Amino acid sequence: MDAGTFILRQAVSVVAFVLWMLVEITEKMGTASTCWVLASIFSIPLVYAAFRVTSKIGMVVVLALAGGLTFLMTLASLQEAFSEDQFSERAPNKMGRQWVAHQIASGCLPIVMASITIGLRHRWAKRDSKTGRT
């Protein structure tokens, strides 16, 4: 096994452990900050892909993936807040409407972060083409 493969496997195992730890912690009861942290963790690969992609089709694919993830996360938040039997009755009363708003807003983070990254990359590419830098 070469060094690159070993490092990649170690990184994957560390990320998997951190995600497992977060799932165990958030399984009990999610807080607003937990929603934002999980949304940020899910956004990191999309932001990296948006930063590395060079073609317009690649940008569209990254935005489509970010949009799909945003849709699924927002749908899951809405289901958790309003559709589950006992939890939906307690969520607005016990945790407040702010918690529900944080759940829904944090679901939009992947598309926002990917769009900002693609916009900045596009802007930097225009600036570099005007100054002649590569």
Least confident of 28-32, 39-43, 48-52, 128-132: 28-32
pLDDT at 26: 55
**Mean model confidence pLDDT for the chain:** 78
| Cβ atoms of 70 and 107 closer than 8 Å | yes
pLDDT in tens, 23-38: 665 555 566 777 788 8
Higher pLDDT, 130 or 109: 109
87-96 burial, b if ≥16 CB within 10 A, otherwise e? eeeebeeebe
Kindly list the distances between the CA atom of residue 6 and the CA atoms of 9, 10, 11, 13, in Å, as whole numbers in the listed order.
5, 6, 9, 11
Beta-sheet strands, E only, within 45-88: none
Residue 64 has pLDDT above 90, yes or no: yes
